[in-house]
A and B are shown apart, each in its own frame.
Chain A
């Protein structure tokens, strides 16, 4: 596999046209296509606190503003705060009885009382700095900093909600009056609504009173003419920078944004999430993490590296020269447990690429119509909303090859992966007699092969030499999504591979 952290020189084109190393790609087993993070649908799966690893359901997360109930961040440096315990000696009150003998033996008659405070181990900030009293329990009710404008905001919000609803009702009333009755003979009494109320009164019902929202009122803000002038000490007193908060600290508590550090309060820790990824085309999950926050495993993990043969660049003849034939050695490996037949072919031309993009778009549309027809009997909301789904346009591959690669004359077999074979010294690789000339060596599930390529004649020093090819491989799908076909099916899949061979030297 390509190195995870270092940028790889071998890139695979996703079906949407974006290049990525194989380690960043996924493989949808139902569409049999390579997918990347850009063309998959991301979803929030599990919310949890990264400190206490507690799983928090979505309703609770919404209530707590997606913050953890028990963990806090340092307002100074945004590290996690730890709860520290101290014991304070409290003199026992004289009136208190000492029922236990052990206590009675204590001559000084003091009681050790445990109390807790929050401290940051990174910047030494503690909750005592800002005058938060120590708590008796570890999960103490740490005081929340009240937001002064909360009630004012609520009243304004309610006012506007009422205004909007009132407008809506008035509009409906207008419409009701405006629309003419569909009767052939218009009745004047009916129009005024007089009829209804008269009938109601005759029957003895109370008058129909439409629930009208009482006109909401709010006191509008008053503009001020007098402001607090700058304090005189501003011009004379020395400012201690250590007492002034930085912008990050202020934005850490957006409601208050204090100017001085003595108003920094511990902030509840923001939650983390696990994502699940879903194929936009077939709506199947590609990645689904395990529910438990402590686990780093997956329930569904369709990484491309488990399904698509990987390509390495082993060596390349140097120096590269424009227009001169070069040789390089590539290594392919088969991650699956079935033998693969590999054919190296030319990349699609630009026209073909456009065609592929059109096909992709069409396949999306087809999928949606099939979804809609299949769900016409049971009209569920999800498929209904899919009707108007619009999706990302596929793109052309951003990299262009700058070398002409000689294709291999025939296809070859890539042996399946066998973990036990690596430890089996006796089992010699059966030497294939009529091995192709381009194959350098073969070991378990790996094959090294020679490829020849000519960098384009118009390249100048410093230009990158990029070769590209389409790799066709046979893939045995063991999990079939159609129930009637039980036996594994064989597919011939292709993926576009781009390899950066290096630069033309100066």
Chain B
């Protein structure tokens, strides 16, 4: 029976998008991921639960990755990893150590047949069936912007800033501690829950009023039970202003986008500005898109952008499915085409070179000497 299975039926490739906090996983050609799970690994020797990227030595990272993949395959995918094709969606600027360790674990420990790395920003475009867009990815630790024109990533216009969930959690914690909530109650999980359930991005007009210091009627407060018998009050002000850090002076989402546009050549700016797409878990908050658009229209009026960019409209795409798995969806599309056969790193290739060919490596990215 196993022979029949492997010969007669194709094994669908496995698609992974391993984020800092949540991992999206599923099979190629499927319209939604099967699971969205926290990126934590249970260390097999000590049974301790650890975040995958919270490592000290490279060997420790390798062991964490092996335990993590072990859990993915035997608890979620329920397929034998051996001789299976893997698609990993990750940023083109993902640290080499992460990419190398994933590949090493997959080939050496799990004996998969091939690994296909799909650039995260590029994969988003395939879900929209467009070829030109400015992709904004708002993750946990950072927000990144990468314009893509005619299917080519404009890497010199890449922007990354501290515009992720982390800074919002910090802001919520700061405001709550100011209002007298003790710190030990505010774990990362509680902060995330408060953010996801109660906070939203306020409208541009109200934000302007707040910036000017005018008094605004804040939304009602909420009693939030933290532990049994402990209830904290979440002020309406917090609910409305937690996300304001994304539009503050230190890390400004709209300025990040405009900066990126100034690095692009003048011919493509207009088209990019009319094809914005915002993905990532943080992009799912209510009210973000209209606010971002108003902020962009506001910022463009002032220096230094007013002189450099002559843009008057910003349009944003609506993602198919939820924004937190849009890039995964791109991986699912890539994994469903023939590219999985032609563009993957196969076991044979890996056994010869023992590393991942990468665009930044001159050995792989040079014209052959004639």
Q: Which of A41, A152, A160, A163 is most buried by chain B, counting CB atoms within 10 A of its CB?
A: A160
Cross-chain contact A156 with B351 (CB below 8 angstroms): no
Nearest chain B CB to A233 CB, angstrom units: 9
> Cα distance A257–B281 when bound, in Å?
12
Known: A156-B129, A220-B130. A392 touches B197 (CB 8 A): no
Residue in contact with B108 in the complex, picked from A62, A163, A391, CB distance below 8 Å: A391
B5: A residues at CB distance < 8 A: 58-59
Nearest chain B CB to A438 CB, angstrom units: 33
> Cα distance A224–B196 when bound, in Å?
25
Cross-chain contact A254 with B193 (CB below 8 angstroms): no
Cross-chain contact B321 with A255 (CB below 8 angstroms): yes
Nearest chain A CB to B238 CB, angstrom units: 13
Cross-chain contact B347 with A388 (CB below 8 angstroms): yes
Cross-chain contact B351 with A390 (CB below 8 angstroms): yes
Does B222 have its Cβ within 8 Å of any Cβ on chain A? Answer: yes
Known: A391-B108, A392-B109. A235 touches B219 (CB 8 A): yes
Does B116 have its Cβ within 8 Å of any Cβ on chain A? Answer: no
Nearest chain A CB to B198 CB, angstrom units: 6
Residue in contact with A244 in the complex, picked from B31, B197, B223, CB distance below 8 Å: B197
Nearest chain B CB to A175 CB, angstrom units: 14
Cross-chain contact A149 with B78 (CB below 8 angstroms): no
Cross-chain contact B31 with A149 (CB below 8 angstroms): yes
Known: A223-B275, A254-B32. A230 touches B74 (CB 8 A): no
Cross-chain contact A221 with B35 (CB below 8 angstroms): no
Interface residues on A, range: 35 or more
Does A251 have its Cβ within 8 Å of any Cβ on chain B? Answer: yes
> Among the listed stretches B154-162, B258-266, B336-344, B362-370, which one makes contact with chain A, having 4 or more residues with CB under 8 Å of it?
B336-344
Binding site secondary structure of chain B: mixed
> Among the listed stretches B92-100, B169-177, B312-320, which one makes contact with chain A, having 4 or more residues with CB under 8 Å of it?
B312-320
A275: B residues at CB distance < 8 A: 74
Residue in contact with A168 in the complex, picked from B32, B192, B332, B338, CB distance below 8 Å: B338
Residue in contact with A390 in the complex, picked from B12, B108, B200, CB distance below 8 Å: B108
CB 8 Å contact bits of B220-247 with A (1 = contact, 0 = none): 1011100000000000000010000000
Known: A223-B275, A227-B290, A234-B200. A241 touches B224 (CB 8 A): yes
> Cα distance A454–B15 when bound, in Å?
55
> Cα distance A164–B66 when bound, in Å?
33
Cross-chain contact B320 with A223 (CB below 8 angstroms): no
Does B276 have its Cβ within 8 Å of any Cβ on chain A? Answer: yes
Does A132 have its Cβ within 8 Å of any Cβ on chain B? Answer: no
Cross-chain contact B339 with A164 (CB below 8 angstroms): yes
In the complex, the chain B residue whose C-beta lies closest to that of A167 is B338
Cross-chain contact A41 with B337 (CB below 8 angstroms): no
> Cα distance A272–B200 when bound, in Å?
38
> Cα distance A62–B317 when bound, in Å?
33
> Cα distance A168–B339 when bound, in Å?
10
A391: B residues at CB distance < 8 A: 108
> Cα distance A58–B126 when bound, in Å?
31
Cross-chain contact A150 with B31 (CB below 8 angstroms): yes
B203: A residues at CB distance < 8 A: 229-230
Does A42 have its Cβ within 8 Å of any Cβ on chain B? Answer: yes
In the complex, the chain A residue whose C-beta lies closest to that of B2 is A58
Report A245-265 residues with CB < 8 Å from chain B CB.
245-247, 250-251, 254-255, 257
Known: A238-B220, A389-B111. A152 touches B320 (CB 8 A): yes
Residue in contact with A254 in the complex, picked from B36, B202, B333, CB distance below 8 Å: B36
Does A37 have its Cβ within 8 Å of any Cβ on chain B? Answer: yes
Cross-chain contact A223 with B336 (CB below 8 angstroms): no
Nearest chain A CB to B355 CB, angstrom units: 12
Does A441 have its Cβ within 8 Å of any Cβ on chain B? Answer: no
B109: A residues at CB distance < 8 A: 392
B276: A residues at CB distance < 8 A: 223
Known: A58-B5, A165-B338. A218 touches B129 (CB 8 A): yes
Cross-chain contact B78 with A271 (CB below 8 angstroms): yes
Cross-chain contact B350 with A390 (CB below 8 angstroms): yes
**Footprint of B on A, CB under 8 Å?**
18, 20, 37-38, 41-44, 47, 58-59, 61-62, 65-66, 147, 149-150, 152-154, 156-157, 159-161, 163-165, 168, 218-225, 227-230, 234-239, 241, 244-247, 250-251, 254-255, 257, 270-273, 275, 381, 385, 388-393
Some 20 contacts from A to B, beta carbons below 8 A apart, are A41-B111, A42-B70, A221-B128, A221-B130, A221-B317, A223-B276, A224-B316, A229-B203, A230-B202, A236-B219, A239-B198, A239-B219, A244-B197, A245-B197, A254-B322, A272-B78, A385-B83, A388-B348, A390-B350, A390-B351
- The 5 A-B residue pairs with the shortest CB-CB distance in the complex, in nearest-first order: A223-B315, A221-B128, A255-B32, A153-B31, A251-B36
Name 19 extra pairs, CB < 8 A, besides A42-B74, A246-B197: A43-B80, A44-B79, A59-B5, A153-B31, A153-B329, A156-B333, A221-B130, A221-B318, A227-B289, A229-B290, A235-B219, A238-B220, A239-B222, A247-B192, A250-B196, A251-B35, A255-B321, A270-B76, A393-B108
